[in-house]
Amino acid sequence: MYKVGDIILQRCYTGGTRLVLVTTQEREIKNGRAGFGGTKVEEDGTEIKSEFGSGVWGYDDQVVKVVKRGTRYGLASYLSW
């Protein structure tokens, strides 16, 4: 299971995947289902910025795997990889 601070691989409903740095875990992210909020990132942990922003959310069943385990003490350690 993932935790806040982990980088996960998310399967999108469009069929693709993306890397997400998890910033929140929610019992009810949407439609009564558990999920997460986060930021799209590259493999090295840098934020992917676009005109639409980098924030994303998803349901727990969209998590394919945890790519990199993080820390519970904040995001600063991730950004310094």
Listed by start position, the domains of the chain span 7-79
Distance CA 24, CA 50 (A): 21
- The per-residue pLDDT for range 49-72, each reduced to its tens digit, is 877 778 999 999 999 999 999 855
Specify the pTM. Answer: 0.81
Burial environment of residue 27 by CB neighbours within 10 A (0 to 12, 13 to 18, 19 or more): exposed
pLDDT at 71: 58
Residues 6+ apart with CB under 8 A from 16: none
- The per-residue pLDDT for range 20-59, each reduced to its tens digit, is 999 999 999 999 999 999 999 988 878 888 777 789 999 9
